[in-house]
Chains A and B, each alone.
Chain A
Amino acid sequence: MTRFITGYGVCSALGVGRETFLAAMKNPTLLEHRTLPAAQAFTSEDARVAEVPDFDPAKYLGDKGLRTLDRLTKLVLVAARLAAHDAGIKKDNAYVVHAGERVGILCSNAYGSLEAITELNRVAKLEDARYINPAKFPNTVANSASGYVSIWEDFKALNVAISDGNCGALDAFTMAEVHLSQDRADALLVGGGEAMSEALCLAFQKLGVLETKAVLGEGAAFVVVEKVARGNVLAHVLGSGSAFSAPESDLQVTHGSADALSRAIASALAEANVDKGEIDLVVSGASGLRVFDRIEIAAIQSTLHEDVAIAAPKMLFGETLGAGGAMAAASALAYLEGAPPTPIVSGTSRPLKTMLLTAMGYYGNASAVVLRAP
């Protein structure tokens, strides 16, 4: 079943908003060639992270009600508001089409608000648990950011939080199709967010990720997926797939699975009724993390064909984890608006009509989505 993307909103290391994102994508600079500013989300002199630059949520949300919200919530709120307006569902924060009861959100996030959890754990450990700020406690709950979007934007249809690692935002497309086909909403914001924090950076440093070419990013992105074509359709969603494969060793936890990605791609193509030869570009999840990138690219090539063009847009804005699939969707939309797919890590580019988005989780899960130009 074809669904319709009518708008999107983005907060990323490339800036805030569709126009800013598009301009940066049209004039791409690899992160490895950029001088990254010092981290804002925490104090660090040497953390090489790609944050949303000069992030000022009040510019988009107003001054009121932001004081107790964490960075994750603010990123997600801004991206969602921009998406709803870009799609023409809202103007000046009032509904133009649809009713709040018919608009919902599917929001992926991989690790929760580590900023909020760490802050309150710090209070509990250094002072006492009885001193934790009750106004900030809700930020520690995994569906908090998504819940706040409904409150701020008056989205009263379903609100679904997803924690599926790097695959969550692409899995949100699968879930969106299920819910739209059941007439649970007319429009769904599909995407996710991940916020930079000292804890996240420390964890990735400990795991050795930041010693690779991968740059830890942050951001939030949502595309508006509608049941029926309306307004300015940016792309069609044709199909999606998701699969899992366990590692051979019973003790292993992290692993990338070529088998799972291959099956996810096959499912997405079958649902989309698209032949593998029709895929003009794969918008991959490759991030510079060599072991996973190698598996992902090999799986794509073996499932499609050796010469298929594979883009790695994370090299421009960093690894955004739970938001990754949504950033891939935003990248694909930018390509359809004339941005050159950059960098192409494998294969030969050709004119774009049909694209495959892929994501590979750290635990053996993988997902894929097929998009086509309108």
Chain B
Amino acid sequence: MTESASRVFVTGVGVVSSIGLGRREFFSALEKGTTGISPLELFDSTSIGRGYAGEVKIFDPKDHLTQAELKRTGRCSAMALAAARMAFEDAKIDASALKGPRTSVVVGTTMGEADVIGELDHAWIKNGPRAVSRTLLPKYGSTLLPIHVARAIGAEGMILCMPAACAAGNYAIGFAADLIRAGKADVVVCGSSEIIQELEFAGFARLAAMAPERCQPFDLNRQGLILGEGAGMLVLESEAHAIKRGATLCAEIGGYGLSCDAYHITRPHPDAQGSISAMRQAIVRSQISPNDVDFVNAHGTGTKANDQAEAKVMKDVFGDRRVPISSVKSMIGHCMGAASALEAVACIFTIETGIYPPTIGYETPDPECDLEVVGNVARKGRAEIVLNNSLAFGGYNAITCFAKPHVLPSPKKAA
């Protein structure tokens, strides 16, 4: 008889996004199809030729962090920490109860504290090595993202940063669930964080990947992605831990799939074999069939190549069955490292409410993306089991399954 591993539940979520801070604001905006994309104010991007982003203009670290934390953190860590605090509150779990070696933290990102290295570089380039601030140096390093969160709660288990580009959130959430199933942790605070920074913004513009003002995933006339920023954090608990403290179960985490295209550093494989493999793994590892999947939260960047590849994944896995799919990047932009964690929170929204968030700006269906896109207006539907897609830079594919609690079969213990 196969031994069971612990079920893993999401018991709290926290969000820093351009359409709202925290569960309530974010969920409400998702349902309404609110756009968070607006003229960029962080820096002057006139010469780059692109000026819109999903910039988080409503976030002030001072509202969420202690004085000491403000001194220690860059903006990316501050967003991660603020979202984590919201997640603890949402989980109704006292941060001090998380203290000890059975709590871990796993946080993903793409560029981490990119503004810190930008500031250091700019001082150095402008005024020479003497101008490089010694006190600013220790703020750099993606390693610090989970460290700051761990310090806030006294977590003493494995503390890990996974810089998995646009799939970082799914990587972090998937591995966090692994730690619990492997018996290495009872609680894992996980998610991802990203900020918009000048070099990153210019880089995507130079790759000719950015749209001028709107992100229109799966639309015939889509012009590319719009960069965004923010943080999504989740509290994951083992079944025993959650039950013992009487936690409210938001959702259960099923299996997840990982693969690498091994094709091109920025472009998805045109046959989408890697992402197809990742989605099939997520389904098989959740012990379900494609017919059980009710909704897919798309990676949906709004670039020609990505959306076409994702459409191929859907066709290959679901055949003629038109599973509803939607991309919240149409509202918040492509939040890079934070994307799939924010989208995981959107999956929790769908599971809790039975509402599929809309893909706004969806005007003309692209025959090459012949999908059941939830266009412009949120839709009610069955939401027992949903998938969260991420098809990232570097050929990284990570697809995670979320479900209503106890809908999935008990997970099997790893061999």
B165 lies within 8 A of chain A by Cβ:
yes
Chain B 243-287 interface residues, beta-carbon cutoff 8 Å to A? 258-266, 274, 277, 281, 285
CB distance from B128 to the nearest CB of A (A): 10
Binds A, one of B21-29, B85-93, B135-143: B135-143
Chain A residues near B192: list those with CB within 8 A: none
Contact code string B158-188 (vs A, CB < 8 Å = 1, else 0): 1111111100000100010011001000000
Chain A residues near B178: list those with CB within 8 A: 178, 182
A355 lies within 8 A of chain B by Cβ:
no
Do the beta carbons of B202 and A129 come within 8 Å of each other? yes
Chain B residues near A164: list those with CB within 8 A: 143, 159-161
Taking a contact as CB atoms closer than 8 A, the residue among B101, B171, B258, B395 that contacts A147 in the complex is B395
Do the beta carbons of A141 and B394 come within 8 Å of each other? yes
Chain B residues near A148: list those with CB within 8 A: 265, 394
Chain A 104-153 interface residues, beta-carbon cutoff 8 Å to B? 104, 110-112, 114, 117-118, 120-122, 124-126, 128-130, 132-134, 137-138, 140-144, 146-148, 150-151, 153
CB distance from B359 to the nearest CB of A (A): 26
Q: Which residue of A lies closest to B151 (CB)?
A: A246
Do the beta carbons of B263 and A151 come within 8 Å of each other? yes
Q: Known A141-B394, A161-B164; judge A129-B260 contact (CB<8 A).
A: no
Taking a contact as CB atoms closer than 8 A, the residue among B132, B258, B262 that contacts A154 in the complex is B262
Per the bound structure, the CA–CA distance linking A118 and B394 in Å amounts to 21
Chain A residues near B66: list those with CB within 8 A: 250
Per the bound structure, the CA–CA distance linking A305 and B261 in Å amounts to 47
Chain B residues near A250: list those with CB within 8 A: 66, 68-69
Number of interface residues of B (CB under 8 A): 84
Contact code string B123-156 (vs A, CB < 8 Å = 1, else 0): 0111001001010011111111001001100111
Do the beta carbons of A129 and B263 come within 8 Å of each other? no
Chain A residues near B140: list those with CB within 8 A: 111, 203
B295 lies within 8 A of chain A by Cβ:
no
Do the beta carbons of B141 and A111 come within 8 Å of each other? yes
Chain A residues near B200: list those with CB within 8 A: 140
Q: On chain A, which size bracket covers the interface?
A: 35 or more
CB distance from B361 to the nearest CB of A (A): 26
Chain B residues near A203: list those with CB within 8 A: 120, 132, 137, 140
B206 lies within 8 A of chain A by Cβ:
yes
Per the bound structure, the CA–CA distance linking A155 and B69 in Å amounts to 40
Binds A, one of B106-114, B220-228, B304-312, B318-326: B106-114
Chain A residues near B160: list those with CB within 8 A: 162, 164, 171, 242
Contact code string A275-315 (vs B, CB < 8 Å = 1, else 0): 00000000000000000000000000000000000000000
CB distance from A29 to the nearest CB of B (A): 31
B48 lies within 8 A of chain A by Cβ:
yes
Taking a contact as CB atoms closer than 8 A, the residue among A118, A132, A134, A178 that contacts B175 in the complex is A178
Do the beta carbons of B203 and A137 come within 8 Å of each other? yes
Do the beta carbons of B202 and A132 come within 8 Å of each other? yes
**B positions within 8 Å CB-CB of A:** 45, 47-49, 66, 68-69, 71-72, 101, 109-112, 117-118, 120-122, 124-126, 129, 132, 134, 137-144, 147, 150-151, 154-165, 171, 175, 178-179, 182, 198-208, 258-266, 274, 277, 281, 285, 392-396, 414-415
